[in-house]
A and B are shown apart, each in its own frame.
Chain A
Amino acid sequence: MIKEPTKGSEAWGMVPIVLFLVVWEIASRSQILSVHYFVPPPSAVVEEFYRLTIEGELGVNFLSSLSRVLIGFCAGSLAGLLTGIIMGWNEIAHRTLHPLFSLFYPIPALGWLPLLIIWCGISEVLPIALIFISSFFPILDNTITGIKTVPKNYIKVAETLGASRYKVLTTVILPLALPNIFTGLRLTTGMAWRVIIAAEMVAIPTGIGALLMRAQSLIRIDIIIVCLIILSIMCLAFERFFLFMERRLTGRWSQHV
């Protein structure tokens, strides 16, 4: 018999994490690990987190990264969504633009970095442009796929019921393409954080990535771990947000499409 997951089973999922932290703390403090300096105990990481927060350094860098991610991701997603709708719905647009799209989509986002450094210089535009590119193509692809895979009979039914082309798009095609679009958003949001860290590590003096690089040069493992934990939490939070939105908007029907 398959049992429904319960709150108890979710709590059980925390046990390995707590266990891991306890073992880490004990191992680090008892100096079992000969290189304990390179693996500070979790309590030291928490202490450092508290210090960085109080002094404002973490907040400033975090907000820099967050604002870049939000601006680049929103702009890239919106552009990808709109272009995807046009290409998915209009066959001529699809035939015209698809070859270009196929050419650019396989390029890894970080592959654009050298070119963008030359074009944009070391400025705020650089990481935003990089995130824009990393968000645009996956969302464009998922939107096109979502639209193209809507069964044709739904469109025919809507037409016989009096729906204009515009109404077919807004009342049938786009709602049914939502699961695919959300999949694109979820994948892209994690990608955006990975890309911003890389860009900040390489070229930008502010942000979590830049903080990471400074910590590395000072061999501050505790700060590096703080940054990695923040990065992990942000990726998780963004993905969970879109998962939550997807379930709210499509949860009642998406499994039956």
Chain B
Amino acid sequence: MSEITLKGINNFACKNVTLRIREGEILVLLGPTGAGKTTLLNVIAGLIPYHGTVCINGNAIDNVAASQRNVGYLFQDLSLFPHLSVASNVAYGLTMRKMPHRERSVDELLRLMKIGHLAERYPGDLSGGERQRVALARAIAPAPKVLLLDEPLSSLDFRTSRYFMMEIRRIQRALGITTLYVTHSFIEAREMADRVGVMHEGRLEQVGSPEEVFTYPANERVADFIGPPNVLDCEQSETLGRGLVEVCCGGNKIIVPYDGGEVKKISISPRHIYVSIEKPPGPTVNRFRGVVDEVMVSDLVSRYKIKIGDTFLVAELPRGVCEEMDLSPGREVFLVLKLRWINVIEGGGVVNG
């Protein structure tokens, strides 16, 4: 197992990126298109020029050629060699590195990836899922120190990608290989990551556990990217003592947990807004009456844009719950903002590298 450290990486797409990927973990790098995620993978693989330092287990590899870095890289388009059979594709790295027991290693890997029956086929004859497996097998065949996965599930349908997510996790755990996984899918990040990093315009904005990042975005850029716009500007802020501050956002008074000074922006994850069609019992703190403005249904969850005073909030509910409540635009609902999940966004942003 290997630890990867990036110190002050700069080039045309990365701006002073510093990051440590711990031994054996999967760090998922999230970010919109053009954030510099793939560029960062190319930096680690040694495929593009950069300033800064890349270390594997404390040893700088900046002057090591890409062919000597021993990094497994799964490209977004997979780039399986079309002129080689599945077995030859998987064996390619072993042959180039002159590794012994090539045939046995290839057989074992094909079995591990459950593609033994495809050994003599060519990439053009494979389905999307099969191609994905072959590409992963090829990347891990030479026992790389680190595995770089660039949006590996982007070309798969929903069902296949969920299955493949579990497969990647299983294989990564089995081999204990340190992995940097690039995606813009929150589902993949939540399900795959030991830690999540969020990139925006070449900067690494935040690194933390999925729960941390999705619940407590470090700054507005992270909040904007990871969730719908539940980032609220606070017009007034009054310290109540005992770690609580009352803020006024769009005419709504909200109590937030905060020990610092003035609060200017808050955020709350859509998952942590309680929605009910009946007035919830208890004190009126952080309880609001609203009207459903828009319904967005996806495979597993439904999202509701709800108008409260002059403000819109997005709440996320499991599909089953939504169907029971029969929410539709114009319906009156009650919201509870769960106190412990309200996040205060501080000015410059925080990076927990």
Binding site for B on A (CB under 8 A): 151, 153-154, 156-164, 167, 171-172, 175-176, 178, 250, 252-257
Q: What is the interface of chain A mostly: helix, strand, loop, or mixed?
A: helix
When the two chains form their complex, are residues B122 and A161 in contact, meaning their CB atoms are under 8 A apart? no
Chosen A-B contacts, 23 in total, with CB atoms closer than 8 Å, are A153-B79, A156-B45, A156-B75, A157-B81, A158-B81, A158-B92, A158-B96, A159-B65, A159-B67, A160-B45, A160-B72, A161-B93, A161-B96, A161-B97, A162-B68, A162-B70, A163-B67, A172-B81, A176-B82, A176-B83, A178-B83, A253-B122, A257-B83
B216-257 toward A: CB 8 Å interface, digit per residue (1/0)?
000000000000000000000000000000000000000000
A253 in contact with B82 given A156-B75, A159-B47, A161-B96 (CB within 8 Å): yes
> Which A-B residue pairs are the 6 nearest by beta carbons?
A256-B124, A161-B93, A162-B96, A153-B79, A162-B97, A159-B66
Contact of A157 among B65, B73, B83 (CB under 8 A): B73
Residue of A nearest to B44 (CB): A160
Given A156-B45, A160-B66, A257-B82, 12 new contacts (CB under 8 A):
A156-B66, A157-B79, A158-B81, A158-B92, A160-B71, A161-B67, A161-B142, A162-B70, A176-B81, A176-B83, A256-B82, A256-B122
Binding site for A on B (CB under 8 A): 42, 45-47, 65-73, 75, 77, 79, 81-83, 92-93, 96-97, 122-124, 138, 142
* Set of chain B residues within 8 Å of A153, measured between Cβ atoms: 75, 77, 79
A257 CA to B79 CA in the complex, in Å?
Answer: 10
A57 CA to B200 CA in the complex, in Å?
Answer: 80
When the two chains form their complex, are residues A250 and B83 in contact, meaning their CB atoms are under 8 A apart? yes
A2 CA to B157 CA in the complex, in Å?
Answer: 29
When the two chains form their complex, are residues A252 and B47 in contact, meaning their CB atoms are under 8 A apart? no
When the two chains form their complex, are residues B73 and A154 in contact, meaning their CB atoms are under 8 A apart? no
When the two chains form their complex, are residues A160 and B79 in contact, meaning their CB atoms are under 8 A apart? no
Tell me the smallest distance from the CB of A159 to a CB of chain B, in Å. Answer: 4
Tell me the smallest distance from the CB of B95 to a CB of chain A, in Å. Answer: 8
Residue of A nearest to B42 (CB): A156
A205 CA to B116 CA in the complex, in Å?
Answer: 64
A166 CA to B45 CA in the complex, in Å?
Answer: 19
Residue of A nearest to B45 (CB): A160
* Set of chain B residues within 8 Å of A156, measured between Cβ atoms: 42, 45, 47, 66, 73, 75, 79
A177 CA to B45 CA in the complex, in Å?
Answer: 26
* Set of chain A residues within 8 Å of B73, measured between Cβ atoms: 156-157, 160
* Set of chain B residues within 8 Å of A176, measured between Cβ atoms: 81-83
A156 CA to B92 CA in the complex, in Å?
Answer: 13
* Set of chain A residues within 8 Å of B142, measured between Cβ atoms: 161-162
* Set of chain A residues within 8 Å of B77, measured between Cβ atoms: 153
When the two chains form their complex, are residues B82 and A162 in contact, meaning their CB atoms are under 8 A apart? no
* Set of chain B residues within 8 Å of A159, measured between Cβ atoms: 46-47, 65-67
Interface centre among B42, B68, B73 (most CB of A within 10 A): B73
A154 in contact with B93 given A161-B142, A164-B67, A255-B124 (CB within 8 Å): no
Tell me the smallest distance from the CB of A178 to a CB of chain B, in Å. Answer: 8
A167 CA to B92 CA in the complex, in Å?
Answer: 11
When the two chains form their complex, are residues A163 and B79 in contact, meaning their CB atoms are under 8 A apart? no
Interface centre among A164, A253, A257 (most CB of B within 10 A): A253
Interface centre among A157, A158, A256 (most CB of B within 10 A): A157
A256 CA to B131 CA in the complex, in Å?
Answer: 13
* Set of chain A residues within 8 Å of B93, measured between Cβ atoms: 161-162
* Set of chain A residues within 8 Å of B47, measured between Cβ atoms: 156, 159-160
A157 CA to B96 CA in the complex, in Å?
Answer: 12
* Set of chain A residues within 8 Å of B124, measured between Cβ atoms: 253, 255-256
* Set of chain A residues within 8 Å of B79, measured between Cβ atoms: 151, 153-154, 156-157
When the two chains form their complex, are residues A256 and B81 in contact, meaning their CB atoms are under 8 A apart? no
Residue of B nearest to A172 (CB): B81
A160 CA to B70 CA in the complex, in Å?
Answer: 7
A163 CA to B45 CA in the complex, in Å?
Answer: 13
Residue of A nearest to B141 (CB): A161
When the two chains form their complex, are residues B83 and A175 in contact, meaning their CB atoms are under 8 A apart? yes
Tell me the smallest distance from the CB of B326 to a CB of chain A, in Å. Answer: 49
Residue of B nearest to A179 (CB): B83
Tell me the smallest distance from the CB of A171 to a CB of chain B, in Å. Answer: 8
* Set of chain B residues within 8 Å of A255, measured between Cβ atoms: 124
A153 CA to B46 CA in the complex, in Å?
Answer: 14
Tell me the smallest distance from the CB of B134 to a CB of chain A, in Å. Answer: 12
* Set of chain B residues within 8 Å of A250, measured between Cβ atoms: 83
Tell me the smallest distance from the CB of B228 to a CB of chain A, in Å. Answer: 34
A151 CA to B70 CA in the complex, in Å?
Answer: 22
When the two chains form their complex, are residues A162 and B67 in contact, meaning their CB atoms are under 8 A apart? yes
Tell me the smallest distance from the CB of A21 to a CB of chain B, in Å. Answer: 43
